[in-house]
Amino acid sequence: MNKLGKIIVGLSGGVDSSVATLMLLEQGYDVEALFMKNWDEDDKDGHCTAEQDLSDAQKVADKLGVKLHSINFSADYWEDVFEHFLQEHKKGRTPNPDVLCNQKIKFKVFLEHALSLGADKIATGHYARITHDNNSYQLRTGLDNNKDQSYFLHLLNQQQLSKSLFPLGEISKTEVRALAKKHDLITADKKDSTGICFIGERNFSQFLQTYLPKQQGDIVNEHGKFIKYHQGLAFYTIGQRKGLEIGGGFSDSPEPWFVADKRIDSNELLVVQGDHPLLYHNTLSTSNLHWIDTQPNFPLACQAKIRYRQASQDCKIIQDNDQVKVIFTQPQRAITPGQSVVFYHEDICLGGAIIEQRTNE
């Protein structure tokens, strides 16, 4: 029996999970891999590349000499992630399916399945780190600041962290590509996947319109002046610029237009030009608060991110009945209800919550 234990890696057919598999083998673990298919919709436009990804995963597994399992979690993904994704958009909010996908699929059903196959732990190609001290596990940022993915992992709990490994947390994307090339892995130059978790990169508005009905309403400026019609608040997000198709003739200013608010009651989309004050707020309220370890005492001075790859922002968290408010030192641009606010103390991810409302206080 391997003293280091048996690890099953989530092998997606991309370069990150390929190199994670390679690194674990080099570290001496007993390694197997698992390919997850989580989207079963008919895809005639080539947005989902599951067939190609499985082929690439198999080639990597063969090259490295590891057994590849394959399983379909599409029913779990639809029920636990995609239905919530659609319901949030129906309400005019902007959810983050990658966050829920990690909590419900990769670190729940995949973890449970891997343990049933005899694994001691699972591993993924996420750029994050796990440390352990004082009987608790800490989720830390990846050392490659440009690729750190702790934001998407903030809903993990102690049990999930105790059963997980992130081999790429200590290295950079450049090093990952170099290792893949050195070992002649087919994924060495493969483009990184983007778009919705497991669904792929698409024209987002068109994709949503296949599932949600159009609800035409007015696009208005800050003075309430009608500009044009929109097809449904669900198809827009706060801070959005592309896709508004507001050309010249609506203002004397040449500055671009941005979505500043979605007025659910009146079905109006409020747009403003340039770096407008209506895009900025210093306070947000939350729901679904989650702490990776024990809940801290309030008020809490820490840092927070309201979107992936944002620089950490100084803030104070205060108790607000059974939820919390986050008050930022500097006003934040395009705080978006439905998205996640994630809390940090230096390089330790503390947890996070769902953004409900934004205000200026």
- Residue positions annotated with a catalytic role: 101, 197
Give the residue from 53, 51, 52 showing the smallest Cα distance to 14: 53
* Distance separating alpha carbons of residues 95 and 87, to the nearest angstrom: 9
Give the residue from 60, 69, 161 showing the smallest Cα distance to 113: 69
Residue count (the chain): 361
Q: Helix 15-27 to helix 50-64 angle, to the nearest 10 degrees?
A: 20
* Distance separating alpha carbons of residues 302 and 342, to the nearest angstrom: 10
Tell me how many helices (H) and strands (E) the chain has: 9, 17
* Distance separating alpha carbons of residues 161 and 136, to the nearest angstrom: 9
Q: Are 49 and 60 in contact (CB under 8 A)?
A: no
* Distance separating alpha carbons of residues 113 and 324, to the nearest angstrom: 35
Q: Are 137 and 30 in contact (CB under 8 A)?
A: no
Backbone angles phi, psi at 347, to 5 degrees: -100, 10
Angle at 345 between CA 341 and CA 351, to 5 degrees: 40
DSSP string, 185-207: -TTTTPPPP-SBTTTB---HHHH
DSSP 310: P
- The two tokens of residue 160 are 């999930």
* Distance separating alpha carbons of residues 346 and 68, to the nearest angstrom: 38
DSSP string, 53-83: HHHHHHHHHHHHT--EEEEE-HHHHIIIIIH
- Category of 294 on φ-ψ map: left (φ > 0), alpha (ψ -120 to 50) or beta: beta
